[in-house]
Chain A
């Protein structure tokens, strides 16, 4: 009887160890994105300048979707890189900024202060932030011509970093 009870207790402990050992690490899921290789979630709205915007209309160019906040220091540091990327890709790409965890008033003031003439869209009810799985600003998603998400960055990005991905994909497409 004692043996049976000991074996059962051992089995229970072993099961708990197995459960704990096979759990995902706390940080692992943050760097993954189920969106890579998928069609970009639908982003449509009224820009800060009053014009309407629909990501589905940008079929032939690259789209860099950037979630930012005016209070976020890495976002301030990153902004000149977005300006630079936007300058380089005036003909074949567009940056879209989406305030995350910020007020529209502060986001508008941010663009007045730091510049940037690309579409800035308000994410009503945070539907896009959840659809993109955004955790904290800044986060950026690169969408290839055709509408497939090809890269995600958590944290500050540079124009060169984004262009490396663009160049790699262009090379791969040219080779195939």
Chain B
């Protein structure tokens, strides 16, 4: 019975993992150049505005960045090249997404670490809880219980 339950949980785990992987794979990025340009612009911050991306901002510098992103995408530059160029010209803060290397990478790594740790702790806690339920009473325990029953 216990084995079937374990197999059941394993199946649930496999199905959930497969669904997560499928959802990530299915998101295969922008289909057209204009979609790609739009995606880059929506994650690029206007350097003279407070928290606005270059799509939302009316500042001349935002218009300049929008025009340049369109041009660079049309030239066939990769997302990484465009982001690196804009970061060189306007500073790394122009990219709304934190960098995936250096100290900024902690923003990406820490949530995963915390998630893994949380799952690990939960597994440990459940394992302890389950093993606690399986403890056989010692002879001393049985004697104490019997003595109490006889008293009552």
Q: Residues of A at under 8 Å CB distance from B?
A: 1, 5, 8, 12, 15-16, 18-19, 22, 24, 26, 28-30, 32, 34, 69, 100-102, 125-127, 129-137
Contacts and interface: CB of A to CB of B under 8 A. Distances in A.
B64 A130 contact: yes
A18 B107 CA distance: 11
Contacts of B63: 101, 126
29 contacts: A1-B124, A12-B113, A15-B110, A16-B106, A18-B106, A19-B106, A24-B93, A26-B93, A29-B90, A30-B91, A34-B88, A34-B89, A102-B60, A125-B67, A125-B68, A125-B71, A126-B64, A126-B65, A126-B68, A127-B68, A130-B64, A130-B86, A130-B89, A131-B89, A134-B61, A135-B48, A135-B61, A136-B59, A136-B61
Given A101-B64, A130-B89, 12 more contacts: A1-B124, A12-B113, A15-B106, A19-B107, A24-B91, A29-B93, A32-B91, A126-B68, A129-B64, A130-B86, A133-B89, A135-B90
- The binding surface of chain B is classed by DSSP as helix
Interface residues of B, number: 29
A12 B47 CA distance: 29
Contact of A126 (B67, B88, B107, B113): B67
A137 B71 contact: no
Interface pairs A-B: 6 shortest CB-CB: A101-B60, A29-B91, A126-B64, A133-B89, A129-B64, A130-B68
A103 to B, nearest CB: 11
B92 interface: yes
Interface of B: 47-48, 59-61, 63-65, 67-68, 70-71, 86, 88-93, 103-104, 106-107, 110, 113-114, 117, 121, 124
B117 A8 contact: yes
Nearest to B62: A101
A135 B93 CA distance: 14
A19 B68 contact: no
Contacts of B67: 125-127
Contacts of A126: 63-65, 67-68
Contacts of B89: 34, 130-133
B64 A134 contact: yes
A106 B93 CA distance: 32
Contacts of B64: 100-101, 126, 129-130, 134
Nearest to A71: B60
Contacts of A19: 103-104, 106-107
A127 B107 CA distance: 32
B104 A130 contact: no
Nearest to B114: A12
Contact of B60 (A18, A24, A100, A132): A100
Contacts of A131: 89
